[in-house]
């Protein structure tokens, strides 16, 4: 088999979960094709061999009785559909007069009198029983366009799915039965006329679908917001001049200008300028982020107050926004395991209801001694009141709302299975670097003793200032790409240090950097490196320098010593920063009776220091853990009957993420971790783990309520119809409200 392609199509014309089964059945007949239809988003996701063209897929969908359009670049399916508003307007225009004339008895005689006088004035012969004729035939004529034109898509879909009945089958049978019977009753002047039932059923069905489409549009609003964030044009620099070009013409490496108040067109690195950016719609982080040269920015983030120059690093489908949107679209197209029961029931639902309606007619007419009119009316009520729509909407609409809402809060649900997996989690395993910590080295402590400076002698007195010491450090460290060097450089820049010229620069891996730095008229040899390496080139460390080194090492920080001409002047203690909400998050997990573990490849001292700070007991901390050790530990916990959540960010966490019952990757982590995990958190806060669990549990609870309602409605409603305790028009109203309840209940997740 060749390469597998993933495609998404917008599908029109679906009315219930039976339609889903029909389309999936048709598509899965194609060799090598796996199709998953989402009723709520009205899309179908296809896994197919590369040699299966979109035309083949679209042709198959149309053969099943539905329309289809290939979606590209995660475009919004709503853009490819026509709304139900037009059908509703025409339904109201035709149905309301027909229902009113049929049901308001006091109107019938004046209408008859007016029509009779009109016929007399033109000397048109009147048939017998004219007083009955006009009151019955006029609603039939008025409602005819509704029955045969406005509702034609319903009848067409019912006919196309004759051997695989859907909701359209029930509606079409119910409305046409009532209308044809009304023609017969009017013509023979025998039995009750149900013109208002035929018109009312279609009116309420079309109204229900209109309200349902509005509600589903609201459910899709979060995804639509993401899709609308992308910029259409970008101001790039061409020979020093700003040129406005379409975003599609931008290439990696282009430098572009972002003005205050504008959105950043694509992912990139800041070349010049300072500002704050609002990432809230991408990461869910409400606090503006300060950016300076050298920092990465996310496409579609809002630039607040400064003009910046950015070099594009990722474009098109490679950007962070495109990645998030792709994951959301994929999640919305997948099916949660809990939906399997509803799909199974829906596949048998419509045929069973059709048989039940026939049995109801025969039971009342042949065995219940009821009139033909009553028996037909009761059978029509059974057809109309049954509602597989609610079953089909129960899960996908809730997932649609949850995934969109989560994305706007920086929580990207990649697999619907997380909804059920989240219910049983009792053990949480955390990585350290990049998960409990920021994953970026920062200077934690700096010691510049005055006593050490005195050793250099009076010739250095004029330049021995803290600013010059930091400037000499910046001059050297800016030449290196080592994480510790970057941390020291950032620290010096933040304190207004000057990047001084450096000569004879050398860098020794694992040791440090050295060079001759020009400081006014002096050019001392400056060394920055580990205490042991610098000690070989220096006179004995000053006592304050020694104390600073010892204190930093006790805290498991990386220690760098700066020396001028063999005299140690400063100590930089660099380390990863624990996230400010880490302790609060661990406390919340403990409050929920979850057993929290820390697995890290770092040394024991660093692991215990971080663990004790955030509230993880030492016996739950495992250091020097290799990828296979993490995998083995999670498997061991699972063998004890534990349900494990793994949270990580690195390639070394990927195997453990795959093994866990539920996995969460930090958005700042590697692509491998993100591709493996069930949930990706784009926000820097660790409390997002708790938010993700809350969202999953709320969504599953909503789905269970939806399914409970859908089952209860049919279990109660269908027997009421069979017993003749409801009219067809009330049944149509109940059917519409049933679907609307499911969608509205799902919207509460927002």
Q: Which residues of 267-286 are buried (b: 16+ CB within 10 A; e: fewer)?
A: bbebeebebebbbbbbbbbe
- Rounded distance between C-alpha atoms, residue 378 and residue 195, angstroms: 15
Catalytic (active-site) positions: 431
Render 397-464 in DSSP notation, one character per residue. HHHHHHHHHHHHTTEEE--TTHHHHGGG--EEEE-IIIIIEEEEEEEEEEE--HHHHGGG-GGGTTT-
Nearest to 565 by CA among 515, 625, 628: 515
CA 340 to centroid of chain Cα atoms: 21
Q: What is the DSSP letter of 510?
A: T
Contact 42, 10 (CB under 8 A): yes
Instruction: Tell me phi and psi for residue 127, to 5 degrees.
Output: -75, 170
> Residue 48 phi/psi, 5° resolution?
-145, 155
Hey, which bits of 142-295 come out as E strands? 233-238, 241-246, 255-258, 267-272, 275-278, 289-291
* Cα–Cα distance for residue pair 652/415, rounded to 1 Å: 22
Distance CA 107, CA 119 (A): 19
Residue 199 · residue 146 · CB < 8 Å? yes
Instruction: Round the CA-based radius of gyration of the chain to a whole number and report it.
Output: 36
User: Distances from the Cα of 316 to the Cαs of 245, 321, 323, 648, in angstroms?
Assistant: 15, 9, 10, 27
The tokens for 525 are 């040899």
Q: What angle do CA 727, 729, 731 make, to 5 degrees?
A: 70
Contact 270, 297 (CB under 8 A): yes
Grouping H, G, I as helix, E, B as strand and the rest as coil, residue 191 is coil
DSSP for 304-352, please give it.
Answer: -S--EEEEEEE-GGGSHHHHHHHHHHHHHHS--TTHHHHHHHHHHHHHH
- Strand 662-666 and strand 644-648: the pairing is parallel
CA distance 376 to 64: 30
Q: Judging by beta carbons within 10 Å of its beta carbon (0-12, 13-18, 19+), is residue 675 exposed, middle or buried?
A: middle
Cα angle, residue 557 at apex, residues 556 and 558 outer, rounded to 5°: 125
Cβ atoms within 10 Å of 230's Cβ, excluding its own: 18
Distance CA 400, CA 333 (A): 9
Distance CA 548, CA 446 (A): 8
Q: Is the dihedral of CA 563, 567, 568, 570 positive or negative?
A: negative
The full length of the chain comes to: 750
**Coil/strand/helix, residue 623:** coil
Torsion sign across C-alpha atoms 106, 109, 113, 116 = positive
Strand order in the sheet with 43-49: 34-38, 43-49, 4-12, 67-71
How far is Cα 552 from Cα 444, in angstroms, rounded to an integer? 9
Residue 482: both structure tokens together? 């080592």
Determine contact, residues 276/295, Cβ cutoff 8 Å. no
């Amino acid at each position: 088999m060749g390469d597998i392609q993933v495609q998404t199509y917008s599908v029109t014309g679906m009315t219930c979960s039976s339609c889903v089964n029909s389309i999936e059945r048709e598509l899965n007949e194609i060799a090598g094709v796996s199709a998953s239809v989402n009723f709520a988003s009205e899309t179908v996701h296809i896994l197919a061999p590369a040699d299966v063209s979109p035309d083949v897929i679209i042709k198959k969908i149309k053969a099943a009785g539905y329309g289809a359009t290939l979606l590209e670049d995660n475009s919004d399916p709503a853009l490819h559909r026509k709304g139900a508003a037009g059908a509703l307007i025409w339904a109201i225009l035709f149905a309301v007069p027909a229902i009113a004339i049929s049901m308001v008895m006091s109107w019938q005689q004046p209408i008859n009198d007016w029509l009779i006088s009109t016929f007399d004035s033109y000397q048109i012969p009147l048939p017998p029983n004219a007083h009955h004729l006009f009151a019955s035939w006029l609603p039939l004529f008025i409602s005819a366009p509704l029955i045969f034109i406005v509702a034609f898509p319903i009848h067409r879909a019912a006919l196309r799915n004759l051997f695989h009945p859907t909701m359209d089958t029930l509606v079409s049978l119910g409305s046409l039965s009532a209308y044809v019977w009304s023609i017969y009753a009017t013509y023979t002047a025998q039995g009750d006329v149900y013109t208002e039932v035929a018109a009312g059923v279609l009116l309420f069905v079309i109204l229900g679908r209109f309200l349902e489409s509005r509600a589903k549009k609201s459910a899709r609003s979060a995804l639509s917001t993401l899709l609308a964030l992308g910029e259409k044009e970008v101001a790039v620099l061409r020979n020093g001049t700003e040129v406005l070009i379409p975003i599609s013409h931008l290439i990696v490496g282009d430098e572009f200008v972002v003005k205050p108040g504008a959105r950043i067109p694509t992912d990139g690195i800041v070349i010049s300028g300072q500002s704050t950016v609002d990432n809230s719609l991408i990461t869910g982080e409400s606090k503006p982020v300060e950016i300076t040269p050298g920092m990465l920015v996310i496409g579609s983030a809002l630039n607040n107050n400064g003009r910046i120059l950015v070099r594009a690093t990722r474009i098109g489908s490679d950007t962070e926004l495109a990645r998030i949107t792709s994951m959301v679209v994929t999640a919305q197209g997948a099916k949660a395991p809990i939906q399997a029961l509803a799909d199974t029931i829906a596949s048998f639902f419509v045929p069973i209801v059709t048989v039940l309606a026939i049995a109801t007619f025969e039971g009342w007419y042949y065995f219940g001694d009821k009139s033909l009119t009553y028996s037909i009316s009761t059978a029509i009520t059974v057809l109309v009141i049954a509602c597989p729509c609610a079953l089909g909407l129960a899960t996908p609409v809730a997932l649609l709302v949850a995934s969109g809402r989560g994305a706007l809060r920086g929580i990207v649900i990649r697999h619907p299975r997380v909804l059920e997996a989240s219910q049983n989690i009792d053990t949480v395993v955390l990585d350290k670097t990049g998960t409990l910590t920021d994953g970026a080295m920062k200077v934690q402590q700096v010691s510049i003793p005055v006593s050490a400076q005195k050793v250099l002698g009076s010739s250095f007195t004029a330049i021995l200032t803290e600013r010059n010491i930091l400037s000499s450090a910046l001059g050297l460290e800016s030449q290196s790409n080592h994480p510790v060097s970057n941390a020291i450089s950032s620290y010096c820049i933040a304190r207004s240090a000057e990047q001084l010229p450096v000569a004879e620069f050398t860098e020794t891996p694992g040791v440090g950097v050295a060079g001759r730095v020009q400081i006014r008229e002096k050019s001392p040899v400056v060394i920055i490196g580990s205490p042991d390496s610098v000690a070989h080139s220096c006179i004995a460390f000053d006592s304050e320098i020694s104390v600073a080194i010892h204190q930093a090492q006790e805290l498991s920080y990386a220690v760098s010593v700066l020396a001028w001409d063999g005299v140690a002047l400063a100590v930089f203690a660099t380390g990863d920063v624990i996230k400010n909400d880490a302790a609060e998050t661990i406390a919340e997990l403990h409050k929920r009776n979850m057993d929290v573990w820390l697995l890290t490849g770092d040394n024991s001292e660093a692991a215990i220091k971080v663990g004790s700070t955030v509230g993880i007991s030492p016996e739950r901390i495992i250091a020097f853990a290799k990828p296979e050790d993490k995998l083995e530990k999670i498997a061991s916990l699972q063998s004890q009957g534990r349900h494990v959540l793994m949270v990580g960010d690195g390639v070394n966490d990927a195997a453990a993420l795959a093994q866990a019952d539920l996995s969460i990757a930090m958005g700042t982590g590697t692509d491998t971790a993100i591709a493996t995990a069930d949930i990706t958190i784009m926000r820097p806060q660790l409390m997002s783990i708790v938010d993700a669990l809350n969202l999953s549990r709320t969504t599953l609870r909503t789905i269970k309520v939806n399914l409970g309602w859908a089952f209860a409605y049919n279990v109660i409603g269908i027997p009421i119809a069979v017993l003749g305790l409801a009219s067809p028009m009330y049944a149509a109203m109940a059917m519409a409200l049933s679907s609307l309840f499911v969608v509205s209940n799902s919207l509460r997740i927002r």
